[in-house]
Structures are given as C-alpha cells and as structure tokens.
Amino acid sequence: MKRIGLLVFSAFALSSCRYKDAALNINGSTVITTSIPVIKKDPNGLLRNYLAREMSQSNSLYYRDSGAKYALKVSVDKDDNSHISFMWDRDPVTNENLHVYYPAEGMREVVAKVELIEIATGETVIEPFYISARADYDFVNPTVKDSVQFQDAFGGEESILQYSLGQLDSEEGAKAESFDPVYNRLAKKIVSRLLKSSRSIKK
C-alpha cells in the first residue's frame, strides 16, 4: 500500500512539474513555486498528494518537486478520534435491550500547523497558522450480534460484512479509511488560505 502511494505521488509530481515548467516560461515572474517536504503522520504521502493536486489547480501556487523557491512546511499537531453516536447492545437470545451503549459512529479531527519558507534564506514568508478538518465515519461493533450477522433462508447465520461491499467496516478499519476525506478537506483549506496570503509574497 505504501509503495502504491509513493508511486502515485511520484507520477503526479512528474506530470505536475512538466505542466508547471511550461507555465513558468510564460509567466515566470507571476507564480509561486513551492515544494512540500515529507509530512510526519501522513500515511503513504496522502496529504502531500492532495496538497500537490490543489496547488496544480490554482493559478498562482505551483508545486515543484525540486527547484522551487519556497517550501510548504506542514505538521500534523492533532489527530483525534471520538465517538459521536451509540446504539443499544442486545441480548443475543431474547433480542432485548441490555441498556448498555456501544459506539456506532466516530469522528476524526486533524489539526495541522502550516508555514511557508523561502528555501534560499530560511526566512518565513507566511507566518505559521493552524487549519483543522473533520470527517465522520460509521462502523459496526462486533459485540452487537445484530450488527454483524443475519439468518439466511435456511436458518443459518451469515456475516453482514462480506455482503456490505465495503460500506460496513470495523472501527479500526473505518478509522483508517477516514484519513482520505479528512486530508482531502485539509488540503483544500490549506491551499485556500495560502492563496489569500500569497498576494503579499514576492514571486
């Protein structure tokens, strides 16, 4: 999985550089070329991929793997998961509520610290700021029998998960999948903030 993420990022970086080099030949004095150093707590470079993509879609921030004038430093300062909804546990024999709650939905919140630095001088050109993003995710709790099993036409018990087409997952699986929407939203918000602040930067 990690290798796939790195390959995707490398391919994107190369295509991005070719496109941006052409743009720089035309508008070399009006664009901000930016690299993105490795980000800790970024599984498979997912956040870097999304940041590079968002930059490529802007008119003034251009991602470059090398030879950029600025570096976008991003650190994940907070990555919290919390339960936001619950369901009743049921007796597996009588199907009655046991008056015990189990979590059924979670929320991941990520807060990143962002700073833009001029590579040649090490000078901070956009002061550090914080951006947050959230995503909710559902999951099934294996301790609740009704959530993970059903009876087929012959009275046998079948697992719901194998028929869910990925729509149902364990809590840990859902947590892992939530990185994608959270980092996607985070990248959009970071680049949007950079675009507002970049007007005062020397290009």
Q: What is the C-alpha separation between 118 and 196, in angstroms, rounded? A: 18
What pLDDT, on a 0 to 100 scale, did the predictor assign at position 110?
97
Lowest mean pLDDT among 6-10, 62-66, 196-200: 6-10
Beta-sheet strand order (sheet of 97-118): 61-63, 32-35, 70-90, 97-118, 124-138
Which pair of structure tokens corresponds to residue 61?
């921030």
> How far lies 74's CA from each of 16, 31, 127, 184, in Å?
20, 21, 12, 14
Higher pLDDT, 114 or 199: 114
What pLDDT, on a 0 to 100 scale, did the predictor assign at position 120?
95
What pLDDT, on a 0 to 100 scale, did the predictor assign at position 166?
40
Best-predicted range by mean pLDDT (16-20, 78-82, 85-89, 146-150): 78-82
Task: Give the pLDDT mean for 40-63.
Answer: 91
Largest CA distance in the chain: 74
Q: What is the C-alpha separation between 171 and 148, in angstroms, rounded? A: 13
Q: What residues are paired with 169 via a beta bridge?
A: none
CATH number assigned to the domain covering 2-200: 3.30.160.150
What is this structure's pTM? 0.72
Per domain, the residue ranges of the chain are: 2-200
| Mean pLDDT, the chain, integer | 76
Q: Three-class SS of residue 183?
A: helix
What pLDDT, on a 0 to 100 scale, did the predictor assign at position 31?
76
Q: Tell me the per-residue pLDDT of 156-177, one tens digit each, with 9 for 90 and over.
A: 554 444 444 344 577 888 899 9
Contact 202, 118 (CB under 8 A): no
What pLDDT, on a 0 to 100 scale, did the predictor assign at position 96?
73
Backbone φ and ψ for 87, nearest 5 degrees, come out as -135, 160
Higher pLDDT, 98 or 125: 125
pLDDT higher than 50, residue 191: yes
